[in-house]
A and B are shown apart, each in its own frame.
Chain A
C-alpha cells in the first residue's frame, strides 16, 4: 500500500483529567475525501488542532507522508503542505480578500520578509492570489474589506487562504458552519471542485452533505474512533444511528 498523505498513530490528548483524544489512528490516502463526524464534544476540532500543531499531543505521532511532524510548530507544518480552515471565521478582518490571499501567497513564496520592495513588484504573487479567488468565485469581491463580506463569502475566503499555502492535505473544520442550508451547497461545490491530488478531511454535521461529498467517513465519539467506513457502511451501521439519536445504552 502506498504511503498515506497524513496519518496519526495512537494519538492521545487530555485536558486535565478529561481525555479528548484517545489512541487515535487515522490514515488519509492521497487524494481522499474523508469526513469526520460525531456528536458535539466528540473531539473533532481537537483532532484537527492536534494534527496542525495548534495543540501538542500527550502521546502519539503525526506523520505527513513519511515525515514525522509531531514536534513541528504549526507554521512549519503549513510550509510542508498541511493546511486547515477554522470552524469560526479566523480571517484578517481589516484586509480585503485580495490582500489577505496575497499575504498567504507571499508567505509561501518566502518573500514576506522583504520590506524594501513594493508589493506592486510582486506581480506574480498578486496574480496567483487573484486566481485562487477566481476559482472560489470571490474575484468580484476581492477589493472588499473582509469584515464587510457576506458571511458565506467569508467562509469561502477561509478556504482561499488555506489554498494559498498550496497544501497537499487540507483539513476543513465545518466549512459551511453558520451558512444558511440553501447556500451551504455552494461552499461544498467549491470544495468538491478542488484538485484531485489534494487530500481532504472535513468535519460536517449535515449528513446529506457528508454522504454526498465524502468517500470515507470516520465517526468520532468521546475522543475515540467509534467506527469508520464507506458512506454506505456508515449509513447501515446501527451503532452510528444510536450515537446520533442518543439512544446508546450505557453500562
Chain B
C-alpha cells in the first residue's frame, strides 16, 4: 500500500460506523416511549464529543466543561425569549457565545497543563455557575430560565410531548457536528492535536506552535459544547443552573472515559451507556444510582484502560489476528 493510500484508508468509513448511525434511528421504531431519553442521549453525546476533541485528542484536561454547555444553553434560551424563536439561529447564537467564551479562556488554557489546568477549569465552572445564579434578572437564577418558545423547525415540525421532533432534531445536530469533527480528526490539524497529546515537548522541536493549536481546538470544542447546550435549552424549553454545574462537567468526563477517550465514538457510546444506566438505575433506587455508575466507572478503568471502545477494538484485533 502506498503511503498516500494508507492515509486515505485511515479516514474511510468503516461498515460498523454506518451500522452505528443506522442504529441511532431504532428508537423511532422500537422505543417510541423513550424518545425524550434518546434526545437527551444525543445531546450528552454531542457534549462528550466536544470534550473528546480537547481531552481525548489534544490531551487537555478539563473539569469545567459545563461552562460552555451552560453558556450555550442560556444564550440560546435568552435569544429565543427576547429576539426570536427560530431554532437554527438559536443554535448558532448558542455556539457563537460559547465559542467566544472558549476563545477568551483558551489564552489561559494554552499556558498550563495537568493539575493546574484541572483547577483552572474547575474554578471557571464554579465561577460561571455562581454568576448565573446571582444574575437572576437575566437567567432566572435558581428557579431556572423560563419562557422559551421555539418555533416549528422549518415551519413544519413542532416540538411536541412525544419527543419525536426532539430526537430527530438532536440526532440531526449530533450527526452534522459529528461529520465535522470526523473531518477534523483526519485532517493535518487532527494529527497535530494527537502530536500534542503524545509529546508536548517534541512539538516545538518540529516547529509547531502547540499553543496556537490548543487555542483553536479549545474554541471549536467550546462551540460544540455550546451547541449541545442550545439543543437542550430548545428541546426542553427551560434552562436550569444544573446546565452549568460541576456535576455536569463530571458526568461528561465519566461518559467519555467509560466510552473511550481519544476515539471518535467514545463519547457517543459512553453517553448512551451512562444515560441509559442512569434511567434504569434511578428507576430502581433513585437516591443511589450514582453508586452503580461509580462501580461501573471503577470496573471499566481498571479492566479497560482505554474505555469500552478501546477494549472492544483490542478484542476485535486479537480475534482477527487469529
Contact yes or no, B199 A90, CB < 8 A: yes
Q: Report the nearest B residue to A107, measured CB to CB.
A: B208
Which chain B residues lie closer than 8 Å to A125 at the CB level?
A: 188
Q: How far is the CB of B210 from chain A (nearest CB, A)?
A: 8
Which chain A residues lie closer than 8 Å to B220 at the CB level?
A: 115
Contact yes or no, A126 B198, CB < 8 A: no
Is B89 part of the binding interface, using a Cβ–Cβ cutoff of 8 Å?
no
Q: Report the nearest B residue to A167, measured CB to CB.
A: B207
Contacts A98-B3, A119-B7; is A112 near B205 (CB within 8 Å)? Answer: no
Contact yes or no, B188 A165, CB < 8 A: no
Contact yes or no, B205 A90, CB < 8 A: yes
Contact yes or no, B4 A126, CB < 8 A: yes
> Which one of B6, B11, B187, B206 lies within 8 Å of A161 (CB-CB)?
B206
Identify the interface centre among B7, B190, B205: most chain A CB within 10 Å of its CB. B205
Question: Bound state CA distance, A142 and B7, in angstroms?
Answer: 12
Contacts A106-B188, A114-B189; is A120 near B212 (CB within 8 Å)? Answer: no
> Which one of B201, B205, B212, B216 lies within 8 Å of A83 (CB-CB)?
B205
Contacts A93-B199, A111-B188, A115-B189; is A52 near B183 (CB within 8 Å)? Answer: no
Question: Bound state CA distance, A117 and B11, in angstroms?
Answer: 11
Which chain B residues lie closer than 8 Å to A115 at the CB level?
A: 183-184, 187-190, 216, 220
Is A21 part of the binding interface, using a Cβ–Cβ cutoff of 8 Å?
no
Is B152 part of the binding interface, using a Cβ–Cβ cutoff of 8 Å?
no
Q: How far is the CB of B274 from chain A (nearest CB, A)?
A: 26
Contact yes or no, A119 B11, CB < 8 A: yes
Contact yes or no, A119 B186, CB < 8 A: yes
Is A95 part of the binding interface, using a Cβ–Cβ cutoff of 8 Å?
yes
Question: Bound state CA distance, A91 and B90, in angstroms?
Answer: 44
Which chain B residues lie closer than 8 Å to A75 at the CB level?
A: 203-205, 207-209
Question: Bound state CA distance, A164 and B209, in angstroms?
Answer: 16
Is B195 part of the binding interface, using a Cβ–Cβ cutoff of 8 Å?
yes
Question: Bound state CA distance, A123 and B188, in angstroms?
Answer: 11
Q: How far is the CB of B177 from chain A (nearest CB, A)?
A: 13
Is B194 part of the binding interface, using a Cβ–Cβ cutoff of 8 Å?
yes
Number of B residues near A (Cβ < 8 Å) is 34
> Which one of B3, B10, B198, B207 lies within 8 Å of A165 (CB-CB)?
B207
Contacts A93-B198, A120-B8, A126-B7; is A78 near B191 (CB within 8 Å)? Answer: no
Contacts A90-B205, A112-B208; is A120 near B191 (CB within 8 Å)? Answer: no
Question: Bound state CA distance, A74 and B205, in angstroms?
Answer: 7
**B window 212-271: CB within 8 A of A:** 212-213, 216, 220
Q: How far is the CB of B185 from chain A (nearest CB, A)?
A: 9
Contact yes or no, B188 A112, CB < 8 A: yes
Is B202 part of the binding interface, using a Cβ–Cβ cutoff of 8 Å?
yes
Q: How far is the CB of A36 from chain B (nearest CB, A)?
A: 18
Is B117 part of the binding interface, using a Cβ–Cβ cutoff of 8 Å?
no
Identify the interface centre among A95, A116, A118, A143: most chain B CB within 10 Å of its CB. A118
Contact yes or no, A116 B187, CB < 8 A: yes
Which chain A residues lie closer than 8 Å to B11 at the CB level?
A: 118-120
Contact yes or no, A130 B3, CB < 8 A: yes
Q: How far is the CB of A46 from chain B (nearest CB, A)?
A: 16
**A window 127-184: CB within 8 A of B:** 127, 129-130, 142-143, 161-162, 164-165
Is B192 part of the binding interface, using a Cβ–Cβ cutoff of 8 Å?
yes
Which chain A residues lie closer than 8 Å to B206 at the CB level?
A: 78, 83, 103-104, 107-108, 161-162, 164-165
Question: Bound state CA distance, A127 and B184, in angstroms?
Answer: 21
Contact yes or no, A117 B4, CB < 8 A: no
Contact yes or no, A117 B204, CB < 8 A: no
Residues of A within 8 A of B (CB): 52, 54, 73-75, 78-79, 83-84, 86, 90-95, 98-100, 102-104, 106-108, 111-120, 122-123, 125-127, 129-130, 142-143, 161-162, 164-165
The 7 A-B residue pairs whose C-beta atoms are closest, nearest first, are A78-B207, A120-B8, A115-B189, A74-B204, A92-B198, A104-B206, A106-B188
A-B CB contact pairs (8 Å), 21 listed: A52-B205, A78-B205, A78-B207, A90-B201, A98-B3, A98-B6, A103-B188, A104-B206, A112-B191, A113-B188, A115-B188, A117-B187, A118-B187, A119-B8, A120-B11, A120-B186, A126-B3, A126-B7, A130-B3, A161-B206, A162-B206
Besides A75-B209, A113-B188, A119-B188, 4 other A-B contacts (C-beta < 8 A)? A102-B191, A112-B192, A113-B192, A116-B184
